[in-house]
Every structure is written in structure tokens, then in C-alpha cells.
Structure 1
Amino acid sequence: MQRRSFVPGAALVTAATLAATLTACSGSSGSGRTADDTKSGDSAAMAQSAEPGKYKTLPEPCRLPSKNTLRKMLPPSATEQPQDAEKVYAGTADITYDTDRRVGCRWKREAPEGTRHLSLDFERVVSYDPAVSDDDKAQSVYAKKELAAKLPAGPGTSSPPPSAKTPGDAGSGAADDKEGGKGTDGGKASPAVSGSPVPPTGSPSDDPSSTPGAGTAPRVLDGLGDAAFLNDKLITADSGVHRDVTVVFRSSNVIVTITYDQWSTDKAALPDSKDLQDKAQALAQELTDHFNE
């Protein structure tokens, strides 16, 4: 039998032809990207992702206000026992399912002349968009809160940035009015002069906290975190009247909300706006200093 001779050049040509065929087949899917291209592209996308927020966890809110601050905001009665005071100042933690994303605490001080409530809410904002940083996302969330507060126009107020507005905001006026009208026990806002009888609902208001430009009017606050505002509402209800003061501030990717209110069983003795605002702002500054540590 005649044996065929081995030709090295022919083998090389065959191998080259086979490799070219395989390459053409692998590139015929239309994507134009190999596995290595995909990996390198993902790495580039990750390298260009926005920076994460400063805070990765949240503190325990019930432990943050100092005892001195709590005593000023929730003053004890002359007949209160020390053990009862300690129970009040311990606060009650809000139920939450992710303490790294949201936590809160509440305090309540009851007195014959009325009741005071204090609550803290900490929200850590996380952006799941690689092109948007946690700080930018938090700023957008904060701006929507400021917009919803409907701060009166005047010195010390500012318009929320465009990022606060999302598609559909233009037609949500009715929803905002409904949300803005909520109050404890479903009461309606009815401004009045501090220390004077409450005027009937709908009467002209002489309440400084509702007058744009007044020292106690709802307004944007300077020097508190990265951004902050204060809201002040006088609520009337059948069981009495109460003033609700809210301070909201942002520190990097954390948004803090302080809600402080005082009830009065005597409609002729309204809670003092300046007193409540000063104490709420003092607590806000204390919390800001904590986050800046």
C-alpha cells in the first residue's frame, strides 16, 4: 500500500481556515462584543459610577438628644417622680425592618395644661442609579419635602431645585393640598395671635408664624446641615389646640426630621411659636454636630 506523504504547509492552511471559520461564527450574533469586551465594559461602567454617600449606617435616635435638651423640650411637673421622668426621657423606638435605612424615636410628656410630643426620624438615602450619587438622590428627596411644606414666599425662603420636580408634579396640586391639610386628630389649620383666643376658622390671621417675612414664619434655615427648613402650624380641634413645629435638614445622604408639638386644653392660651421653634432648632443643631463628628 502506498502511503501519502505528510505536508506541514497543508496542515497549517487547514488549521488557519478552521480558526477563521470559528471566528466568523462567534461574531455572527450581531452583538459585536466578545465576553472579554463585556467584562471590560462593565468594569468601565463601575469605575464611572457616582460616589456613595458619607453614611453607611444610622445612629440610635433614642440615645442622641441629651438629657438636658429633653428636659427643656419636655419639662417635668413639680410632682413627678424621678423614675417616671427617666421613663419619659428614654423614649420609644419606632418599629423598623432595616435599621441601616430608617430609624425613629418618640417621646411624650403629659401635663394637666396640655401634652407635648417629640419625634425623630432618620432616613439614609441610597441611589440605585450608578449615574446618580447618594448625596444627589438625598438632595432630590429633601427638595420634595421642602416643596410639600409649601413655605410662604418671603425673606429666608427659596424655591426647591428643578431636580425636586418629577413628571406629573404639575398636576399634583390637589394631592399636595390634601397632604398639607393633615393634622393631628384631623384638625384644620386656623392661625391666631399667641396668647389670644383662637379666631373662627377662616378668619384673617395675625399669627406671626403664618406671616411671610416674620421671625417665626415657616422658612429655609441657614447654617444647619447641607440644607434645612422649618415649618410651623397652628391646629385647632374640638379637644383643644396644638402647635406643630417641624425641622427637616439634610446631612450628606441622611435626612433628619424633627417634629415637636404642644397641646393646650385652654384655647385662650396658645402654645408659643418662638419657644417651640427655638427648642426644635437647638435639637437640630445638636444632631447636626453629631453627624459632623
Structure 2
Amino acid sequence: MAYVPGTVLLAALAVSCSASTGTGGSAPDSKPGETAVTVAAPGKYRTLHDPCRAVAPSTLKDLLPGAAELPEDQQKKVYEGTATATYDTDRRVGCRWKSEAPHSSHTLFIDFERVVSYDPAVSDDDRAREVYAKKETAAGLSSPSATPGSAEEEQTPLSPEPEEDSASPSLPGPASQDKNTDEPAGGSTDESLAPRNLDDLGDGAFLDDQLTRAGSTAQNRTVSVVFRTSNVIVTIEYTEQPTVSTVLPDSKELQDKAQSLARALVEEFNE
């Protein structure tokens, strides 16, 4: 048997161990030239609340005057609301309520949309931020944090996505009617009540206020509050239509009630 010096033997063993354990080299299952793929974090919300149960009964009584005077069975029907048809209740859901009072009718519509990114490199939150920014722009507003050349200002999609996803069809609300306003932009002569961004409401929020002519004489006012919380976008539309054509709905009252509901829904999502 040939004699092998101790130092040579130790060196050979070190090389052998390094090759077998991957120490100082590539992992055993890695391939040459292969790079790790970073997948963006999923959104906070994986499901959605039932919109028809999201509004407290006391709040519905306040938003739907006249319903409390109805017989009990009719009251129950009004307060239960009507769910909006949808193909995937984990992606988008909505509910609508309507009440009739002697001097006016009121309609409340809420919509919950859970945004999912189709690009593994783009998070659900970033995709939701883009969808929200488009709604904000459509209302004639811009994000306070938007800067020239930013994705929100240019509205450049962060990831390819079909314009209309069968899993989340559009849910038309009262504000989708043709607008023929008789007031300055914002539907109110009071600048403090004009469409605007809202502070301290979710991760971003804005309010729109439009006076719309319905038919030949009647006018209704729709106040919309839209806010984003993580990867969910919530839309509230609250409409009043007086029975007398010469009466205009009170903008401040509708705005205050819509914002109060929005704050309650933010708390519900945060629970």
C-alpha cells in the first residue's frame, strides 16, 4: 500500500466534503444560470364580507327614512336589501336598498371589490392602488401623492389584465345614470362640499357629489364615497330624489351620512 502524507490526505477530504455538501458552491438542486424568482406578497383580504349584512340596522333606519313606518314584513324586506348578481363572491359583491317616504325616496348601494394581481411580480395592493387611481381620475380628482410621471398619474397598467373579468363584472349603481347637472362642478355651490379627496379613511378615499336630472323634471342627488383598504375597494352610493321637482336634496346631509357609513365599513374590514 502506498504511503500518503497526512497533509495531502486532509486536503483531499476537504475537497470531497465541499463538493458533497455544497459548501462554498451552488445548492445541490440549483441549475447553472438559474435565478430565484421573487413573488409579490398577496393582499390582506382573501374573501369579502356579505354586503347586505355589512350595514348596521340602526344605520339603515337613518339612511332609509320612511321604511320604519311600513308594516313589519315590508320593513324586513327593505332592510334585507337586494344582492347584486355576481359570478364570484370572493372577488366582487354588492347590495342595494331603497325606501319611499312621503317627500322623497332614498337608494343606498354598496360595492366590495377584491383586487387580485395577475402578475407575480406585482402585489395585490399595488394592483388595487392602480384600480383605485383610475376611479379617482374618472371622478375628476387626482391622488395627493401622485407626482409627474408616476404610475398613478399616467395610469399605466402595472400588469396585463383583461378589461372585463368574468369573475368581477361591473356592478352599476345609481351614479351610472347620464348626468345633466344644473350646478357647478361637484353638484354644489358650496366649495367645501365639492368632489374631493378624503383624509384618514382607509388607504385612500374620495367623495363625489352629483345632481342628476331623472326624466323631464325630477332631480336626484347621488353622493359617492370610494375608499381602498389594502386590496379591497369599497364604493358607496347614496341617492335622494324628492317627490317635488322644485326641491333639491341637501348635499351636506347626504355627504355626512355617506362618510359616516364609510368610516363604519373601514372599521368592519379592520376587525
Class of the TM-score when normalised by the shorter of the 2 chains? 0.7 to 0.9
Match of 1:37 in 2: 31
Cα gap change, 1:64 to 1:131, in 2 (>3 Å): same
Aligned length: 223
Partner Cα separation in structure 2 for residue 247 and residue 37 of structure 1: 52
Alpha-carbon distance, 1:159 to partner? 6.8
Cα gap change, 1:94 to 1:268, in 2 (>3 Å): same
Of all paired residues, the percent bearing the same amino acid is 51
Q: Structure 1 residue 147 and structure 2 residue 137: aligned? A: yes
Tell me the SS of whatever aligns to 2:111: strand
* Structure 2 unmatched runs, 5+: 1-28, 158-173
Match of 2:196 in 1: 219
Partner Cα separation in structure 1 for residue 186 and residue 226 of structure 2: 22
Q: Under a length normalisation based on structure 2, what TM-score does the superposition of the two structures give?
A: 0.75
Alpha-carbon distance, 1:145 to partner? 0.5
Alpha-carbon distance, 1:81 to partner? 1.3
Partner Cα separation in structure 2 for residue 291 and residue 208 of structure 1: 30
Partner Cα separation in structure 1 for residue 78 and residue 50 of structure 2: 17
**2:76 paired residue among 86, 92, 115:** 86
CA RMSD of aligned residues (A): 2.6
Alpha-carbon distance, 1:210 to partner? 5.1
Counting helix residues as a fraction of each chain, which structure ranks higher? 1
Alpha-carbon distance, 1:76 to partner? 2.1
Letter in structure 1 aligned against 2:178: G
Tell me the SS of whatever aligns to 2:118: coil
Q: Structure 1 residue 229 and structure 2 residue 223: aligned? A: no
Match of 1:6 in 2: none
Cα deviation per residue 1:143-192 (whole Å; 9 max; x = unaligned)?
110011014x9xxx737562232359xxxxxxxxxxxxx9565341111x
Cα gap change, 1:267 to 1:53, in 2 (>3 Å): same
Q: Under a length normalisation based on structure 1, what TM-score does the superposition of the two structures give?
A: 0.69
Cα gap change, 1:260 to 1:53, in 2 (>3 Å): same
Aligned residues of 1:248 and 1:256 also touching (Cα < 8 A): yes
Aligned residues of 1:147 and 1:160 also touching (Cα < 8 A): no
Tell me the SS of whatever aligns to 2:247: coil
Aligned residues of 1:93 and 1:104 also touching (Cα < 8 A): yes
Which has the larger displacement, 159-168 or 106-115? 159-168
Q: Structure 1 residue 73 and structure 2 residue 73: aligned? A: no
Alpha-carbon distance, 1:249 to partner? 0.2
Match of 1:163 in 2: 151
